[in-house]
C-alpha cells in the first residue's frame, strides 16, 4: 500500500541516530507514506542521552526526542526529521520486573508541526547486577543478558557517567568488571544491558512497532487542511457516574486534532463505556461510607 498523493511521498526525511534505527523506521515510512528515511550525517545523538538507572519521565523523553530530531536539520537539507528516545528500568523498584517507554518524535519544520508517538513495553532484556572483583557469576550474568547477540555495559557503581561500551568477549567483560569495581567508591561494578538499538534486538523490535505507529499516524491527513498527522491529541475526563450522574475522573471522550490548523473532533471512548462505576465517584463513595457508619 503506497500513497502517491501523500505530502511526504518521495520526500527525504532525516533520522538522527547513530544506532542504526533506520532499520526499524525506514520500512514503514516507505510503505505507508512513500517517504525515504535517511540517517542524518554527523549527528552525535549520544550527547543528549544519559543513563539514570530508572525509567525517565515521558515529558523529559519527548523534549529530548524533539531536540534530537531538530539536530538532523543542522546537517541535512530536509523539511522533516525523526528521532527516538527510550528509557528502561525496574518497574515499581522491583529489579526483575523491568519495562520501558519509547518515544518517537517527528518534526515537520516547513509546516511547523511535530507529532510524537509513545509506546510502553514490558518486552525487554533490561537487567542490572552489581559485582565485586573476581565474582564467578559475571559470565553467567552476561549470558543471561543475551551476550554476545545483545550488548553489555559495565560501569563503576559510584559513577554512571562513563559506561564501558564495545565489550566483545566474556574475557573483556570480566576484566572491565574487575577494573571498574576497583575504581568505585563502594568496590562494586555495575553490569547492565546495552539498550542501544543496534546492540539490542528486542529494543529494535519495539522501535519497529513504534515506527509503524508513527507512520500510520502521519498517513492520516487533516480533513480540513491536509497536514499529515491528524489523530489523538487529548482526552477529556468527566465520564458521568452511573449512580448520580456527576462527572468522574474517567475519560469521557477522546479528541483527534490537527497541530497545524487546530481543527479537532471529539470521539467517544473506544470501549463504548457510557457511565463510570460508582466506585470512581467521590460523592457516591462518601455516601456509601456514610451509610455504613450510620
Residues of the shown chain interacting with Zn ion in the complex, contacts defined by CB under 5 A: 222, 224-225, 227, 241, 243-244, 258, 260-261, 263, 281, 284
- Return the C-alpha cell found at 8: 511526504
Residue among 202, 161, 200 nearest 46 (CA): 161
CB of residue 64 to Zn ion, shortest distance in Å: 27
Spatial distance between the Cα atoms of 177 and 138, rounded to a whole number of angstroms: 8
What is the distance between the alpha carbons of residues 190 and 137, in angstroms, rounded to a whole number? 13
Least separation in angstroms between CB 36 and Zn ion: 25
Q: Alpha helices, DSSP H only, in the chain?
A: 22-28, 58-75, 138-144, 170-183, 201-219, 282-293
- Residue 258 CA to residue 231 CA, distance in Å, equals 7
State the minimum distance, in angstroms, from the CB of residue 255 to Zn ion.
14
All three cell numbers of 249: 475522573
Nearer to Zn ion, 115 or 258 (CB): 258
Minimal distance, residue 278 CB to Zn ion, in Å? 5
- Nearer Cβ to Zn ion (84/227): 227
Give which of 276, 286, 289 is closest to 246, Cα–Cα.
276
Which residue's CB is nearer to Zn ion, number 167 or number 281?
Answer: 281
Neighbours of 129 (CB within 10 A): 19
- Closest contact distance (angstroms) between CB of 5 and Zn ion is 16
Amino acid at each position: 500500500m503506497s500513497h502517491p498523493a501523500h505530502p511526504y511521498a518521495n520526500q527525504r526525511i532525516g533520522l538522527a541516530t547513530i544506532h542504526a534505527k533506520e532499520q526499524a523506521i525506514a520500512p514503514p515510512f516507505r510503505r505507508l507514506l512513500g517517504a525515504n528515511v535517511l540517517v542524518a550525517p554527523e549527528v552525535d545523538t549520544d550527547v543528549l542521552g544519559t543513563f539514570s538507572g530508572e525509567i525517565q519521565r515521558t515529558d523529559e523523553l519527548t523534549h529530548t526526542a524533539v531536540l534530537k530530531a531538530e539536530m538532523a536539520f543542522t546537517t541535512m537539507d530536509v523539511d522533516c526529521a525523526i528521532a527516538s528516545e527510550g528509557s528502561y528500568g525496574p518497574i515499581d523498584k522491583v529489579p526483575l520486573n523491568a519495562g520501558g517507554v519509547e518515544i518517537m518524535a517527528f518534526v515537520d519544520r516547513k509546516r511547523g508541526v511535530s507529532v510524537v508517538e509513545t509506546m510502553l513495553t514490558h518486552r525487554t532484556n533490561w537487567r542490572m547486577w552489581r559485582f565485586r572483583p573476581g565474582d564467578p557469576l559475571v559470565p553467567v550474568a552476561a549470558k543471561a543478558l543475551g551476550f554476545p547477540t545483545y550488548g553489555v555495559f559495565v560501569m563503576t557503581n559510584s559513577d554512571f557517567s562513563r559506561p564501558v561500551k564495545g565489550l566483545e568477549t566474556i574475557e573483556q567483560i570480566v576484566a572491565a568488571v574487575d577494573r571498574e569495581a576497583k575504581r568505585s567508591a563502594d568496590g562494586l561494578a555495575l553490569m547492565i544491558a546495552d539498550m542501544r538499538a543496534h546492540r539490542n534486538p528486542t529494543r529494535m523490535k519495539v522501535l519497529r512497532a513504534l515506527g509503524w505507529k508513527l507512520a500510520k499516524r502521519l498517513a492520516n491527513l487533516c480533513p480540513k487542511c491536509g497536514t499529515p498527522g491528524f489523530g489523538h491529541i487529548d482526552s477529556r475526563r468527566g465520564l458521568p457516574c452511573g449512580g448520580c450522574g456527576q462527572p468522574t475522573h474517567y475519560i469521557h471522550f477522546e479528541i483527534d486534532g490537527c497541530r497545524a490548523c487546530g481543527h479537532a473532533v471529539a470521539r467517544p471512548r473506544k470501549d463504548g463505556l457510557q457511565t463510570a462505576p460508582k466506585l470512581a465517584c467521590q460523592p457516591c463513595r462518601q455516601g456509601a461510607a456514610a451509610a455504613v457508619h450510620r
